[in-house]
Amino acid sequence: MEILSALFKPVLDFALPPRCPICGIMVEADNRFCLSCWEGLDFLTAPWCASCGKPFAFEQGSGAQCAPCLTKPPEHDGVRAVVAYDDKSGLLAMRLKYGGRLGFAELIAGHMERFLDGIGRDSLIIPVPLHRWRLWSRGFNQSVLIGRALSKRSGIAIETGLLSRKNATPPLRSMSAKQRHNIVKDAFVLAHDARARIDGKTVILVDDVYTTGSTANACARKLKAAGAERVLVFCWARVLTDNDRS
C-alpha cells in the first residue's frame, strides 16, 4: 500500500492539491496551514491555569489556579487547548463538524500530541459522546475522530462505549454557563462495566471546543464516580473572554 501511495501521490496532488484548512489556498502538504493563517492562530502555551487552561500574563508557579477555579474548582483536572477560539480556529472546527472535512481530525490530533508529555501510555482516551439522534443525522462524532487519531499517534487506548449521552440536548452555543450546566448535568451515563475499565486510570476527555466547561464537568463527574484517578480535557479551541487574559 505504501508503494502504491508513493506512486499515485504526484497524480493526486496535481488533481487535488493540498490546501490550507482555513483559507483554502494551496500549501505544500496536507493538514498544513498557510503562513498567514498560521500566524493568525492564537496558540495557547504555558503559563496557564492548572485547572481550566486560561492563559496567565506571567508565570505564577506550578499548579497555580485562576480566581474562578480557586472559588469553584472544576470537576476535571485540567484543560489543554491547542488554540484560542476565534473566527479562524472556529472555522476549522465548523468545517470538521458540519462540513464533513474529516481529515481535519488528524490535524487537530497532531497538535494535541504535545500535551501528552508525562502522561502514561496506560491512560485512556474517551471522546465526549453525541446523542444517537445527532450521531445518526451527522454520520460521525468529531470528538471520536480526533480521539482515534490521537490514539493512533500515541498508542493510548481509546474507548467509545464507556460514556454515552442519554439526553438529546439542544445546541448550547447561545446559552449562559448556568443554562448549559442545568441542561448537561444529568445528560451522560456510564456503561455497566465502566468501573472495571476506568478505575485508577488517567482519562483524556477529547472534545473539539471548550466553552464554559459545563459538558466537560458533567462528563468528568461521571468518570470520577467510576474511579478515574484524574480527567484531563484535550480540545482544539478554548473560548476566552478579555477577562480571561489577565
Q: Residue ranges per domain, the chain?
A: 1-40, 44-245
Give the separation between CA 16 and CA 13, rounded to whole angstroms: 5
Give the separation between CA 141 and CA 128, rounded to whole angstroms: 9
pLDDT category at 206 given cuts 50, 70, 90 is very high
pLDDT for position 135: 80
pLDDT for position 176: 67
Calculate mean pLDDT across residues 176-187. 71
Residue 170 has pLDDT above 70, yes or no: no
pLDDT category at 133 given cuts 50, 70, 90 is confident
Residue 45 has pLDDT above 70, yes or no: yes
What's the CATH architecture for 44-245?
A: 3-Layer(aba) Sandwich (3.40)
